Structure 1
Amino acid sequence: MQIKESSEVYDVIIVGSGAGGGMATKQLADAGLNVAVVEAGPFFDPKNPEQMTQLKWPYESPRRGAGTTRAFGEFDMAYGGWEIEGEPYTREPGTKFDWFRSHMLGGRTNHWGRISLRFGPKDFKGKTRDGHGEDWPIGYDDVKPYYDKVDKLIGVFGTNEGLEDDPDGFFLPPPKPRLHELFYIEGAKKSGIPVIPGRLSMLTKKLNNDRGVCFYCGQCARSCSVYADFSSGSCLIFPAQKSGGKIRIYVNSVVREVTTNEEGRATGVSYISKDDRKEYKLRGKIVILAASACSSARILLNSKSKQHPNGLGNSSDLIGKYLHDSTGASRAGFIPGLMNRKTSYNEDGVGGMHVYSPWWGDNSKLDFPRGYHIEVWGGMGMPNYGFAYNPNDFNKFFGLKVGGYGDGLRDDVKKYYGSVIGFGGRGEGIARKDNYCEIDPTTVDKYGIPVLKFNYKWSDFEINQAKHMQDTFEELIHNMGGEPLGSKPGKENDYGLEAPGRIIHEVGTTRMGNDPKTSVTNKFNQLHDVDNVFIVDAGPFVSQADKNCTWTIMALSWRASDYIIEQLKQQNI
């Protein structure tokens, strides 16, 4: 098959346009480099009327917004899901790993919860802290200047609390708690659980002329048409283009491999165009992978050559190893004190939590080594039919059947509207070598590219953590005078612990370290084996922490970009 090769040689080729890829695009383009961005999905701009789903009503869709076309509902702004036709992945027997992909400009930043937490000093030194996993080769002080820069560039609301492992930052004013969150604050206080304002990357006041301010429609998962919330395209790539950056975006382009020369150095990438199913090659001096932790690992493992028979950068045989996701478990409760709410006011707020609880426990006294935070949901969002049912037996719980037609249905909806509160625990699992992804030698996708096979199991540490979550959730519900909905998850189903991958925080497949024998990249996200290849997604993470990973992805991407610029000036790469 003839492969068409571009004549232009880019300074940098960036694969993926999400958090890490978008940040690298902005920083390197702003520095004057000629950048090519290769994205597996289509161009996307939430301001585009043909793509915008914000402020649309369910009746505007023949499917009433149901999740039949997209995993999180039709109006959610994620082109993809856990299963994509023609792009499979496989699992070893006993593995339940689910892999979420969002193929579009901006990637998964278009629909995420925008919970924007820094890792703390302890999070970078897990082994020193409790003997489990490994320490990062860098510490909080190395990343702090870049967290500060990300805060100021993108905007995040919150408050400085002086907490050791939930560091202070540069925060915009947080929105005030909604009624269900006030109930939560009082309930948490009875159990000694701290509650602080949420830290979300949504603009509560004007930041610059390119972006609007949040108007509290509560639909951030649809990506914001006024750019008030953070998405990589609207907040990083578009501003870089506007300021004159030399950026060429290749959309609908699925990267097969990183190409190399006789010396084993990267020369560019090979990709399949979704538009004509033909293969093309781009040439570049530096290649940056930001396709997501698992996708970047897949590309490297498929990039085999005489110089790299085990995959590019894989002399350690660790690419794909140490894969881990956040733990997750949830519960909901009915709070009688929230019944019969007045509906003559709007308390929608941002599309996420106004308050949350950072980890408060002492793990030395518990049967699991790492913590979790609590995310809170509830309020008066748009109801759906059956919103107040006990999923197991609504007659037994409420004493009546909520539903019917006409006035009876309206009366029941008004009575219970806003009376349910829910919790999501998001915690840290231990990175282990025997949780990994690898190339499946027998399966390819519709583009002829070998796919990933996953091998992953939770340990007792994560299962015990989920039990603690469930015990805490029930205690909180009772503290609020409520009753839990449904049966409490038990040991037989790992206490409701979500399958790995379901929290969509997968990290660690190309982890960083000082020793090339025990790591894939150095502390600047640069491959040990190939000095002109960098990875700026969550692959280099040594551990996940109990925080969402996006803010750390962007901080490390900015740090790596500064390193690239300096190394180019010194003619080292």
Structure 2
Amino acid sequence: MQIKESSEVYDVIIVGSGAGGGMATKQLADAGLNVAVVEAGPFFDPADPKTMTQLKWPYDSPRRGAGTDRAFGEWDQSWGDWEVEGEPYTHEEGTDFKWWRARMLGGRTNHWGRISLRFGPKDFKGKSRDGLGDDWPIGYEDIKPYYDKLDKLIGVFGTKEGRENDPDGFFLPPPKPRLHELFYINGAKKTGIPVIPGRLSMLTKRINNERGVCFYCGQCSRSCQVYADFSAGSCLIFPAQKNGGKVKLFVNCMVREVTTNEEGKATGVSYINKEDRKEYKLKGKVVVLGASACSSARILLNSKSKQHPNGLGNSSDVVGRYLHDSTGASASGVIPGLLNRKTSYNEDGVGGMHVYSPWWGDNSKLDFPRGYHIEVWGGMGQPNYGFGFDPNGMNKFFGLKVGGYGDSLRDDVKKYYGSVIGFGGRGEAIAFRENRCEIDPTTVDKYGIPVLKFNYKHSQYEINQAKHMQDTFEELIHNMGGIPLSEKPGKDQNYGLLAPGQIIHEVGTTRMGNDPKTSVTNKYQQLHDCDNVFIVDAGPFVSQADKNCTWTIMALSWRASDYIIEQLKQQNI
């Protein structure tokens, strides 16, 4: 097969346009570098009327918003899924991992809760705290300046709380708690669980002329037509282009591998154009991978050559290893004090939680080593059969005959609408070398590229943590005088612990470290084995935390971009 090779040599080729790739695009283009961005999905602009789904109602769709081809419903703006047609992945027998792929400009940042939490000082030194996993080669003080700049560039609401391991930042005014969140605050107080305003990257105040201000439609998962919430395309890539940056987008292009020369240095990437199914090569002085932790690992493992027989950057046999995701478990209950609510006012708020509970426990007194935070949902969201009103659940746990049709159904819906409160625990798992993704030697995708095979099992630590979550949720519902809407999951169900990957916070496949024998990149996310290749997604994470990882991905990507600029100026790469 003939491969078409580009004659232009870019200063930097960036693979992936999500949080890490988008941040690298903006910083490197703003510095005057000629940048090519290669994205596996199509172009997407949330302000484009042809793709915009905000402010539409379920009755605007023949499927009432349910959707048949998207896991999170028809209105969700993540063009991807757990299963992508023609792009399979496999599992080692007896193991499980669910891998979400987003296929669009901006990647997963078009769909996420936009919970924007800094890792704290303790989160970088896990082994020093409890002897498990490894410490990062950097500390909070190394990344703090980038968190600060990120807060100011993107915007995040919140309040200064002075909590040691939940660092404060530069905050916009937070929205007020809604009624169900006030009930939660009172219930949490009885158990001694802290509740503070959420920290989400949504603009409650104008920060520049390019982006609008949130008008509380509560539909952020659809992406934002006024750019009031953060997405990598609208907040990073488009501004880089408008500011005169040399940014060329290659969309619908699936990267096969990083190409290298006789010296083992990267020369660019090869990709399959999805529209004509032909293979092309781009040339670049530096290659930056931000395709997501598992996708970047896949690219490296498929980039085999005489100089890199085990895959690019994989002389340590660590690429793909130490894969881990946030833990997750949930519960919900009906709160009698929220029955028969008035519906003559709008309390939609932002598309996410106005308050949450950061980790409060002392792990030295518990049977699991790391913490979790609690995310809260409820209220009077856009009405449909599945939101806050489940007749089957009502019937089973109240002994009621809810449902039917006509006036009786309408009366029941009005009575119970807005009465449900739910909790999601999101915690830190321990990184183990055995949990990994690798190349399946017998399976390729529809583009002929070898696919990933996952081998992942939860440890007892994560299972014990999930039990603590369920006990906590049970107590919170009791404190609010509520009634659980499901049976409490037991030991045989791992206490409701979701499958790894299901929280979509996977990290750790190209971990950073000082020793090339036990890590893939150095502390600047530069490959030990190939100094003109960098990883700017969550792959270099040594450990997850009891926080969502996106804000740290972007801060580290900004830091790595500064290092790339410096190294290019000094002609070191």
For normalisation by structure 1, the TM-score amounts to 0.99
Corresponding position: 1:452 with 2:416:
no
Residue 184 to residue 451, structure 1, CA distance change in 2 (3 Å): same
Query: Match of 1:296, SS?
Result: helix
Tell me, in whole angstroms, the C-alpha distance in 1 between the residues paired with 2:396 and 2:548: 37
Segments of structure 1 that go 5 or more residues without pairing to the other structure are none
CA contact (8 A) 2:70 2:80 kept: yes
Cα drift, residue 384 of structure 1: 2.0
Structure 1 Cα separation of the partners of residues 515 and 392 of structure 2:
52
Aligned residues: 573
SS in 1 for 2:183: helix
Q: Which residue of 2 aligns with 1:219?
A: 219
- The 8 Å contact of residues 117 and 551 in structure 1, kept in 2 or not, is answered as yes
Mapped partners of 2:208, 2:393: distance in 1:
51
Partner of 2:556: 556
Amino acid in structure 1 at the alignment position of 2:132: H
Partner of 2:397: 397
Deviation at 1:279, TM superposition (A): 0.1
One-letter amino acid of the counterpart of residue 355, structure 2:
V
The alpha-carbon deviation at position 398 of structure 1 amounts to: 2.3
The 1:432/1:389 distance shift into structure 2, 3 A limit, reads: same
2:391, 2:403 within 8 Å by CA — same for their partners in 1? no
2:318 paired with 1:318? yes
User: 2:523: which partner in 1?
Assistant: 523
- Tell me the alpha carbon deviations over residues 307-333 of structure 1, each in whole angstroms, 9 at most, x when there is no partner: 000000100000000000000000001
For 2:146 and 2:94, how far apart are their aligned partners in 1?
40
| Aligned match of 1:344 | 344
Summarize deviations over 1:362-392 as a string: whole Å, max 9, x none: 0000000000000000000022225556686
Structure 1 CA distance for aligned equivalents of residues 97 and 130 of structure 2: 27
Give CA deviations for 1:329-365 in whole Å, capped at 9, x if unaligned. Answer: 0000110000010111111000000000000000000
Any conservation in 1 of the 2:305–2:311 contact (CA below 8 Å)? Answer: yes
Q: Is the 8 A contact 1:115 1:199 kept in 2?
A: yes
In the other structure, the counterpart of 2:47 is 47
The offset of 1:395, in angstroms, is 2.5
The answer to whether structure 1 residue 291 and structure 2 residue 291 are counterparts is yes
Q: How far apart, in 2, do the equivalents of 1:393 and 1:321 lie?
A: 41
Cα distance in 1 between the residues matched to 2:471 and 2:241? 50
1:82-123 deviation per Cα after TM superposition (whole angstroms, max 9, x unaligned) = 001100000001111000000100000001100000000000
- The answer on whether the counterparts of 1:335 and 1:421 sit within 8 Å (CA) in structure 2 is yes
Q: Determine the structure 1 residue equivalent to 2:442.
A: 442
Q: Which residue type is aligned with residue 562 of structure 2?
A: D
Q: Normalised by the size of structure 2, how large is the TM-score?
A: 0.99
What is residue 411 of structure 1 aligned with on the other side?
411
Query: In the TM superposition, what is the alpha-carbon distance from 1:543 to its structure 2 partner?
Result: 0.2
Contact kept, 8 Å, 1:13 with 1:35, in 2: the verdict is yes
Aligned equivalents of 1:396, 1:85: Cα separation in 2: 38
Matches of 1:19 and 1:59, distance apart in 2:
33
Tell me the distance in 1 between the aligned counterparts of 2:486 and 2:109.
Answer: 32
Alignment of 1:201-212 (within 5 A): 201-212=201-212
The residue identity in structure 2 corresponding to 1:84 is V
Partners of 1:392 and 1:487 within 8 A in 2: no
For residues 393 and 192 of structure 1, the distance between their equivalents in structure 2, rounded to whole angstroms, comes to 29
Match of residue 129 from structure 1: 129
Show the 5 A alignment for 1:241-256: 241-256=241-256
1:5 — aligned with what?
A: 5
Matches within 5 A, 1:471-550: 471-550=471-550
**C-alpha offsets along residues 16-56 of structure 1, whole Å, 9 cap, x if unaligned?**
00000000000000000000000000000000011111111
Partner of 1:82: 82
**Contact 2:391 2:402 (8 Å CA) reproduced:** no
**Counterpart AA for 2:411:** D
Deviations 1:442-493 (A, max 9, x none): 0000000000000000000000000000000000000001111110000001
1:190 corresponds to which residue?
190
**Do structure 1's residue 424 and structure 2's residue 424 form an aligned pair?**
yes
Distance 1:386 1:231, change over 3 A: closer
Task: Compute the displacement of 1:406 (Å).
Answer: 1.4
CA contact (8 A) 2:378 2:388 kept: no
**What SS does the aligned partner of 1:28 have?**
helix
Q: Distance in 2 between matches of 1:61 and 1:285?
A: 48
What is the CA–CA distance in structure 2 between the aligned matches of 1:199 and 1:239, rounded to whole Å? 24
Farther off after superposition, 317-326 or 385-394: 385-394
Q: Which amino acid aligns with 2:475?
A: E
SS at match of 2:248: strand
Unaligned runs of 5+ in 2: none
CA RMSD of aligned residues (A): 0.9
Distance in 1 (alpha carbons) for counterparts of 2:43 and 2:387: 35
Q: In the alignment, residue 129 of structure 2 is paired with which amino acid?
A: R
SS in 2 for 1:473: helix
State percent identity of aligned pairs: 86
Q: Which amino acid aligns with 2:515?
A: D
- The 3 A distance-change label for structure 1 pair 503 and 386 is closer
Question: What is the CA distance between 1:393 and its match in structure 2?
Answer: 5.2
The CA deviation at 1:68 is: 1.0
| Aligned mates of 1:335, 1:369 — CA distance in 2 | 32
Offset at residue 410 of structure 1 (A): 1.0
* SS state at 1:187 partner: helix
